[in-house]
Amino acid sequence: MQIYSQKDVKKAALKGARIAILGYGSQGRAHALNLKDSGFDVVVGVRKSGASWGNAKKDGLAVAEPAEAVKGAALIAFLTPDLTQKDLYKDVIGNIAKGTTILFAHGFNVHFGLIKPRKDLDVVLIAPKGPGGLVRRQYEQGRGVPCLLAVYQDATRKAKDNALAYAHGIGGTRGGVLKTTFAEETETDLFGEQVVLCGGTTELVVKGFETLVEAGYQPEVAYYEVLHELKLIVDLLHEGGLAKMHKFISETAKYGDLTRGPRIVNKGTKKEMKKVLKEIQDGKFARQWMSENKSGRKKYNKLMNQDLKHKIEKVGVKLRDRMPWLQENA
């Protein structure tokens, strides 16, 4: 394991260089503003016809169409959604000079071969382990969100130095920058989303809610027990791992955790997790997702509609309306 900090950043890396940020969503805005506040010459590349153009200008940033923004930039960060990056790369590659560093915050397109970078470019990854809003807030508070760093292609022998300077500029070296690979970042990120953070957690919550409601308990009570209180446990885990969670929950909760938890998430669950991981590793998930998007997202839209119409959401909307403070950091 190798973790870089502020002392590992080379002062000469990216000094006086222009950085082009392509995209002005959650990560794009945070990166652009943090880099600007760190003293870098930043230009945001977005379409003039979109809302992001005006938003970036209001934030005091230089703005240009993507193909113009990349001209003369020493580092270009592709921070648009995964599904748009392949076409964006095609649109701007003709204006990217030899020896430029191109940077991604997620390795999806490069790892699965949707983007095949020119051989004369440095290709790096800086992936903050948190959403853009948090990346910005932590920076403003003098802290930083940890990042992952990977080098896919090192044409100039300066790829790592430039990537680390970029990570430093967005505040990442304050939290630590862990060395990885495009493959490891991409595959573990997708696995985490599908099996634990999004897919696994939401399905566990929904099935727990359904079990209680079907047994005759009030939906509102079920909501509080399986969804609302989840944050309290996640916060404990986030702050101090299993040890802190066990320290702050009751003895009864601990006993239930240790004896009943393995009955829910068991060998069969882990077997299915391994299947999901294999589908990520061999590219099956990426191919399915690209195909689904190309065909109009019929299955995706159907499943999303089912999710948002579930009873837990209807109950949740009413209960959350009584707690407006939940939206303070939205």
Q: How many residues does the chain have?
A: 330
313 labelled binding-site residue: no
Q: How many CA atoms lie within 13 A of 149 on its CB side?
A: 26
187 labelled binding-site residue: no
Residue 106 a catalytic site member: yes
Residue 16 near residue 41, CB atoms below 8 Å:
yes
47 labelled binding-site residue: yes
DSSP-derived secondary structure letter, 96? P
Q: Where do we find the tokens 């990349």?
A: 70
189 labelled binding-site residue: yes
5 labelled binding-site residue: no
26 labelled binding-site residue: yes
225 labelled binding-site residue: yes
327 labelled binding-site residue: no
Sheet-wide strand order for 18-22: 3-4, 177-179, 147-153, 122-128, 101-104, 75-78, 18-22, 41-45, 62-64
DSSP-derived secondary structure letter, 97? P
235 labelled binding-site residue: no
What is the CB neighbour count within 10 angstroms for residue 39? Answer: 10
Residue from 31, 106, 111, 168 carrying the catalytic annotation: 106
52 labelled binding-site residue: yes
Per-position DSSP letters for 99-139, written without gaps between them: T-EEEESS-HHHHTTSS---TTSEEEEEEESS-HHHHHHHH
Positions at the binding site for substrate: 250
Positions at the binding site for NADP(+): 24-27, 47, 52, 132
- Report, as residue numbers or ranges, the catalytic residues: 106
Positions at the binding site for Mg(2+): 189, 193, 225, 229
Positions at the binding site: 24-27, 47, 52, 132, 189, 193, 225, 229, 250
